[in-house]
Amino acid sequence: MESNAKSVRLDSLTKVFIGPGNQQVVAADNVSLTINPGDLVTFLGPSGCGKTTTLRMVAGFENPTSGRVFIGGRDVTSLPPNERDTAMVFQSYALFPHMTVGENVAYGLRFRNVSKEEKEERVRRIMELVGLSGFESRQPGQLSGGQQQRVALARSLVVEPQVLLFDEPLSNLDAKLREQMREEIRRIQTELSITAIYVTHDQSEAMAMSDRIVVMNHGRIEQEGTPREVYSEPGSKFVADFIGRVNFLPGKLTGEADLSDERAAEMASWLEAGRTLYEVLIFDRRLLVEGQDSLAQVAGATSGRVLVVCRPEAATIAGANESISPDAHVTGRIVKAMYFGSHMEYGIVLEGGSEFTLIDFNPAKSQPLSVGDTAGLRFDEASLHALPEGR
Amino acid sequence: MTTHQTATDTVRNSPKPRTSRARDSIADLKSLTRDPILLTTLVVVLLLIFVFVLWPIWKVLWLSIAPKGKLSMETYKYIFGQRWLARSFTNSLRLGAIVATTSTALGFIFAFGLNRANIRCQPFFRQMALLPIISPPFMFCLSVILLFGRNGLITNKIFGMSNFNVYGLGSLVLVQTLGMFPIAYMVLDGVLQAINADLEDSALNLGASRLSVFTTVTLPLATPGLASSWLLVFVTSLADFANPMVLAGKYDVLSVQAYLQFTGMYNMPRGSALAILLLIPALTAFLVERYWVSRRSYVTVTGKPSMHSIPMVSRGVSVFCEVVCWITAIATILFYSVVIGGAFVKLWGINWTPTMEHFKYAWDVGKNSIRSTVIMAGAATPLTGFLAMVIAFLIVRKRFPGKGALGFMAMLGYAVPGTVMGIGYILAFNQPPIVLTGTGLIIILCFVFREMPVGIEAGVASLQQIDPSIEEASRNLGASTGYTFRKITLPLIKPALFAGLSYSFVRSMTAVSAVIFLVSARWNHLTALTLAQTEIMRLGAASALSIFLIVIVMVAFAVMRLLVGKEHRPTGMIPR
Ligand SMILES: Nc1ncnc2c1ncn2[C@@H]1O[C@H](COP(=O)(O)OP(=O)(O)OP(=O)(O)O)[C@@H](O)[C@H]1O
Ligand SMILES: [Mg+2]
């Protein structure tokens, strides 16, 4: 199958629903996005944030209130769904119950000029690809959930669409199958190199399979980037909170880091464009924390107060009780200690009273601490991020 | 909901191996002996069904095949030897087939227009499609006579025709279609709503044009529904007595012939045989619908109605649906208006002076009938509801051998034409051990066992939607069975129950085909009185009586709405 990948561009897409009592629901608010050919992009966000609505506007099932949709550079905004050449995998699978598996998979080919032989050949190849050869004459009801999922996938793939659309395709499967299927979807999508949009509210699914992640909230795009970027450089408190687990520490920005210092210079050299290294006071310790270029200016409005994002694995235990290391940035009392085999998870009440979650990935190496112990904490400065307060 | 929702719905349960089935029923039987309340209830229910459903039907059958006490086919030979009698059989079938086809087509256009074509004025059309269900019998006949009869508004006054013959097949098809398309609409509305919107979206998404989506997805999925609707309307048309009685003219049909033979000519065996000839196709069609077509259905209630944001049909189709809906709605309104008008003018078509004299006259001749009608229907309704809920509960929640048979026998009252039931009740209850003829009780019992299936359907449908774990949770938290039923189950099924009850009240109020055999001077029924007035061409009085009936029905609905809170469409219930 030659690559048919097309770019997708959303230009200020807005969708306003008129709910009961003429109340307006803004399901998508000025969504602009460019998706490169062959990329798999996930829309990630809490329930009701407008993921499905945006996806359905790409497929043509909803007419945008304003804005445009481009596929492969062509404006498809006014095209009906059947002329868009997108193929959607529905959450309900939407397999036609009155047709066999084979007829289901071949359905889309009825509307494309394909000879009988080619049709059979394509169905055969796709069924092989999804690992369902020999199931053609079954009724959809005679398949397991995972198999039905594959049929739905095959039915979308066989038409070699310009864009594949997925709306939470795995939410009906159990955890194990979900992991297996997401790898398979990713494998097939890269193999065929088809541009894909994938809607989910499962962040680990998004992290595992996407080229890029679009985090949505209240109908707006909060942040867009590679999985690494959204995880390690969250652009807002919402994104930091929504993706992975996070601690927020209060900080006070005192200025840009002094780059004549060797350590600061080295840290700064790792930063991407648009990011700056700052000096931030956290628990009265002067730490080096990166943030966006404009942060100093934005934080000025709050007399330098910023929010420092610290992932649970970005801090380590630096001694306990009598032997707290002088390297420790802060001390706290352990109120929760849970053993997970691969790691220990601690809940620690810090000076000032806030609870901090810390994950220690080497529980075997050190003597695990227990509830009631006092522990020293050391932050990994390179993994901290400062955000403007209040966002 | 669950994983394989759309697809697994379609898989029928594979039959259990025979041995394990036998073992199951033995175990069921054993548990039955350990549950004396269940056992007693079952015995009582079975006894009632035997006496008031099976026994009367058997009496009709027996009289037709043994007119002089021993087996002989002479009655049937006579019927098929006389062309005028034999023709009523084919006439009934032909009328049924035509009306089933027209009603299903009209019902589908309504359902499709309202669910897929995004036509305007949807709430209005929904109301209009359900209005004929509560119309009194004869009502549309009156309208047709007032509009197209000898002094008809349209034929005589507008077109100046003086000898237009309104009686016959054409008029029958018109009034039955207008009166029965709501059955088709209700079935098909449910079917179209239950088709998962994702299926059609998915077809569109894979490149199908809107026409292809319709022919390859929507229509195949709706086909079992179309067949159901056709068969149900067919049965309804066969069993209809009121319309052909007034409008058939020379077009003889079975229900009317059976009545005339039985009560007019006192030829009871011949009347019974005609009733049996009516029963055979009606029962066949009902059984085909129930045990064959409805099992082929791919759609089940998912709770989430189909919603499409973009139109699924072209402009032209949408306009077509809307025009058809408008024509039907206007016809219905017109039919209602002329009856109301007819009740207020002196002599329709000749003397248009407004008057109240028809109401006065109707009240004088009718007040006793009105009272007895309301009493009988009112007494039958709670009995129906109670019995229906008990049976529904047994069917859904209990295990006992012969459950399928019980369900079938309980539903028989639904499939058997009223004519057969009416004759059966006369034959069964005019001699010891049970003598009921001439009493109000015989009519009440007839109502109970004819309307019970509607209540059972409603009860079964709503009970099935209640997860047994809800009841189990209540038991688990310490509530007794009785408390659980009162405080958990009953409130949950109350809306469906009340909808079913008010509906069965209305059906008892408007019943005619069975009642016509059972009324007496003391216990008359409004519909029988209306028929008598129509036959002597006192159309004004008949119109006034119809209006009384409509008012009573409306009041019943208003009371129901007060009790339940909001309008609740009867679930799982198909009107006749
Ligand atoms: N047809 C509609 N009419 C009115 N409001 C709607 C309609 N469809 C969606 N909405 C509203 O638009 C908002 C976004 O809905 P959408 O289905 O896009 O959310 P989502 O991000 O897919 O959520 P989920 O993760 O729960 O599927 C919600 O507030 C929803 O209530
Ligand atoms: Mg969604």
Domains, chain A: 8-241 (3.40.50.300), 247-388 (2.40.50.140)
Report CB contact under 8 Å: B208, A82.
yes
Q: What pLDDT is stored for residue A354 in this prediction?
A: 87
Q: Is the pLDDT of residue B576 over 50?
A: no
**10-residue mean pLDDT series, chain A (391 residues):** 77 89 89 95 93 92 92 91 88 86 91 90 90 90 88 90 91 83 89 92 90 94 92 88 89 89 89 88 90 85 88 88 86 90 89 88 72 90 87 53
Q: What value, to the nearest 5°, has the Cα angle with vertex A147 and ends A144 and A149? A: 110
Do B95 and B172 meet the contact criterion of CB atoms below 8 Å apart? yes
Contacts of B3 in chain A (CB under 8 A): 145, 172-173
Distance from the first to the final alpha carbon of chain B: 34
Q: Taking residues B329-342, report their average pLDDT.
A: 90
Omega cis (within 30) before B182: no
Distance, CA of A190 to CA of B103 (rounded, Å)? 54
Tell me, what's the ipTM? 0.74
Residue B479 pLDDT > 60, yes or no?
yes
State whether B208 and A62 contact (CB < 8 Å). Answer: no
Question: Measuring CA to CA, which residue among B328, B335, B361, B326 is closest to residue B152?
Answer: B335
Whether the per-residue pLDDT at B263 is higher than 80: the answer is: yes
Mean confidence (pLDDT) of chain B:
82
Mean pLDDT score, B299-328: 77
A59 touches chain B (CB under 8 A): yes
pLDDT greater than 50 at residue B3: no
Mutation test of ligand 1: which of A22, A26, A49 has the most ligand atoms closer than 8 Å to its C-beta?
A49
Query: Would you say A60 and B208 are in contact if contact means Cβ atoms under 8 Å apart?
Result: no
Domains and CATH numbers, chain B: 29-70+263-295+356-576 (1.10.3720.10)
Give the strand pairing for A195-200 and A163-167: parallel
**Per-residue confidence (pLDDT) for residue B570, from 0 to 100:** 44
Q: What is the pLDDT of residues B4-63, one digit of tens each?
A: 333 333 333 334 445 555 666 666 667 667 677 778 888 898 899 999 999 999 999 988
pLDDT over 60 (residue B301): no
| Helix %, strand %, coil % of chain B (to 5) | 75, 0, 25
Q: Which atom of ligand 1 is nearest to the CA of B309?
A: 1
Residue B306's pLDDT is what?
55
A87 vs B: CB within 8 A: yes
For residue A31, the model assigns a pLDDT of 95
Cβ neighbours of B208 in A, within 8 Å: 82, 107-108, 110-111
pLDDT at B480 over 50: yes
Chain A 103-142, residues with CB within 8 Å of chain B CB atoms: 107-108, 110-112, 139-142
Ligand 2 ion local residues (Cβ < 5 A):
A 52
Residue B572 has pLDDT above 60, yes or no: no
Highest mean pLDDT (candidates B95-99, B225-229, B288-292, B462-466): B95-99
User: Can you give the pLDDT at residue A391?
Assistant: 53
Q: Is pLDDT above 80 for B473?
A: no
Q: How far are the Cα atoms of B127, B130, B332, B555, B570 from residue B123, in angstroms, in the given order?
A: 6, 11, 16, 21, 17
Q: Which residues pair with A346 in a beta bridge?
A: A337, A358
Determine, for residues A94 and B310 on separate chains, whether the beta-carbon distance falls below 8 Å.
Answer: no
pLDDT digits (tens, 9 = 90+) for A26-79: 999 999 999 999 999 999 999 999 999 999 999 988 889 999 999 999 999 988
Confidence of residue B1 (pLDDT cuts 50, 70, 90): very low
What residues in chain B have their Cβ under 8 A from chain A's Cβ atoms?
2-11, 196, 198-199, 201-210, 212-213, 216-217, 220-221, 298, 308-310
Question: A333 pairs with which residues across the strands?
Answer: A349, A374
Give B71's pLDDT tier (boundaries 50, 70, 90).
confident
* Ligand minimally distant from the alpha carbon of residue A47: 1
* pLDDT score, position A4: 64
pLDDT at position A146, please?
Answer: 87
Residues forming beta bridges with residue A302, ordered by sequence position: none
pLDDT: which is higher, A261 or B301: A261
Q: pLDDT tens digits for B516-558?
A: 888 887 888 888 888 888 888 888 888 888 888 888 888 887 8
Using a CB-CB distance cutoff of 8 angstroms, which residues of chain B are in contact with residue A86? 205
Task: Check the CA dihedral B413-B418-B420-B423 and report its sign.
Answer: positive
